[in-house]
């Protein structure tokens, strides 16, 4: 049994996808995917779902998680995920026994137990305050100036276009997994503090569940992958 505790913030009232956190994804409520991944992780001892919505909490409990009702003042559109984690640390005595707190996002239902273990173990191995999941990206990013001119962010547009293998490796934060040193997070109150290390997930998908179109795309991808598995 591990010494990390997973906390899953899951507010009700999603505007982009109504009822998102309990909407069935591949036949299972969305929040249940994160719960099951955390339960299967070797480094995680307990799973807490923090929500302002009783239906979400009931769903989480039915899948074996600890349901924690979040105060109304921590449940509005302006409330941060960090505020939910801090509330859970104060409200749940079991958190005091953990060295590592793992924050998981419901909007990444394809997160695996192995990925959670990798992020937690890298935090410990590298003696980091925060470890977080990333994927490698190769996009050319631009800003648009007030006059409409494109400004290269991670490349110099005035020079010949570099081949991918000649460019520095760059990574995008997935938002799926964060592992914090418990005491340090409690003092800092934010996800990045002290030594923060990116942990590369080589097989992670890059689709965020923000819109109905995202949902269709990710569910179609997940169904296709499942159909290919032996």
* pLDDT tens-digit readout, 83-109: 999 999 999 999 999 999 999 999 999
74-83, long-range: CB within 8 Å, 24+ apart, which pairs?
A: 75/11, 75/12, 79/11, 81/9, 81/105, 81/191, 82/189, 82/190, 82/191
SS3 (DSSP) at 206: coil
pLDDT band with cut points at 50, 70 and 90 for residue 158: confident
Query: CATH number, domain at 35?
Result: 3.90.550.10
pLDDT surpassing 90 at residue 135: yes
Whether 147 is covered by a domain: the verdict is no
Indicate the range of 4-8, 54-58, 142-146, 153-157 predicted with least confidence: 153-157
State the pTM of this model. Answer: 0.91
Please compute the mean of the pLDDT values over residues 67-81 and round it to a whole number: 81
- At residue 228, the pLDDT reads 64
- Find the Cα–Cα–Cα–Cα dihedral 15, 19, 24, 8, rounded to 10°: 90
pLDDT band with cut points at 50, 70 and 90 for residue 123: very high
Whether 12 is covered by a domain: the verdict is yes
Question: Total structural domains in the chain?
Answer: 1
- At residue 1, the pLDDT reads 52
- At residue 143, the pLDDT reads 96
pLDDT surpassing 60 at residue 211: yes
Whether 150 is covered by a domain: the verdict is no
Whether 144 is covered by a domain: the verdict is no
Average pLDDT, the chain: 91
Whether 116 is covered by a domain: the verdict is yes
Whether 156 is covered by a domain: the verdict is no
* CA–CA distance, 52 with 70 (Å, rounded to integer): 5
> Which pair of tokens denotes residue 153?
């962010």
Whether 140 is covered by a domain: the verdict is no
Contacts of 98 (CB under 8 A, 6+ apart): 3, 4, 5, 45, 46, 182
* CA–CA distance, 166 with 184 (Å, rounded to integer): 38
pLDDT surpassing 90 at residue 80: no
Whether 201 is covered by a domain: the verdict is yes
What domain range is 95 assigned to? 4-135+170-228
- At residue 229, the pLDDT reads 63
Q: What is the pLDDT of residues 169-202, one digit of tens each?
A: 899 999 999 999 999 999 999 999 999 999 999 9
Q: Of 35-39, 134-138, 150-154, which has the strongest mean pLDDT?
A: 35-39
């Amino acid at each position: 049994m591990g010494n990390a505790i997973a906390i899953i913030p899951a507010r009700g009232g999603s505007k982009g996808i109504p009822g998102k956190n309990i909407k069935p994804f591949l036949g299972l409520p969305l929040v249940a995917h994160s719960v099951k991944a955390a339960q299967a992780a070797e480094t995680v001892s307990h799973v807490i779902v923090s929500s302002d919505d009783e239906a979400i909490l009931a769903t989480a409990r039915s899948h074996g998680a600890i349901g924690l009702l979040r105060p109304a003042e921590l449940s509005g559109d302006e409330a941060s995920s960090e505020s939910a984690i801090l509330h859970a640390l104060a409200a749940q005595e079991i958190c005091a026994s953990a060295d590592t707190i793992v924050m998981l996002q419901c909007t990444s239902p394809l997160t695996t137990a192995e990925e959670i273990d990798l992020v937690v173990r890298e935090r410990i191995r590298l003696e980091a305050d925060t470890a977080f999941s990333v994927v490698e990206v190769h996009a050319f990013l631009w800003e648009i100036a007030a006059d409409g001119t494109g400004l290269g962010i991670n490349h110099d547009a005035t020079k010949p276009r570099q081949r991918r293998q000649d460019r520095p490796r760059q990574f995008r934060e997935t938002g799926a997994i964060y592992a914090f040193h418990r005491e340090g997070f409690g003092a800092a109150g934010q996800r990045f503090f002290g030594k923060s290390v990116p942990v590369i997930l080589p097989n992670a998908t890059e689709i965020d569940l923000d819109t109905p179109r995202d949902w269709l795309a990710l569910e179609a991808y997940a169904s296709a992958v499942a159909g290919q598995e032996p």
